[in-house]
Amino acid sequence: MIYTLNNRLMTTLTVPTNEILLDNIMRVMSGEYFGVRKAAKIVGGRRKLERLIEAGKIEFAKPVNSQNGKWYCRADQVLAHCRNMRPKTKSQTKLYLSYDKQGKVQQNC
């Protein structure tokens, strides 16, 4: 909606900045690579990373064709499958209410 406020033309159009920022991050990281250990830490484990590679959701490269050559995974695909790294919150303590003889509320934890 377009309207005027103090002789200025205003709009209610909102830009989804979170989506734009996420898209920018993915575009920047599309040319970058993570090592297998870092990728496994981001995804949530080595086995989960291997399952994602087998499913074709994450591409990997091994530039040196030797037995101990390092694997590299595409950073944008790894970040798209990252695990929830938010800290777990402590469960909230329950609040118990009791009443005294006069009918007043007393709080007990």
pLDDT at res. 95: 58
**Per-residue pLDDT tens over the stretch 30-43:** 999 999 999 999 99
pTM for this entry: 0.62
Domain count, the chain: 1
Residue at 11 is within a domain: no
Residue at 104 is within a domain: no
**Per-residue pLDDT tens over the stretch 51-98:** 999 999 999 998 888 888 888 999 999 999 998 877 776 655 555 666
Residue at 9 is within a domain: no
| Residue with the two structure tokens 């074709």 | 56
Residue at 15 is within a domain: no
Give the range of the structural domain holding residue 81, as residue numbers without chain letter: 30-85
Residue at 8 is within a domain: no
pLDDT at res. 2: 74
In sequence order, what are the beta bridge partners of 107?
97
Contacts of 61 (CB under 8 A, 6+ apart): 33, 71, 72
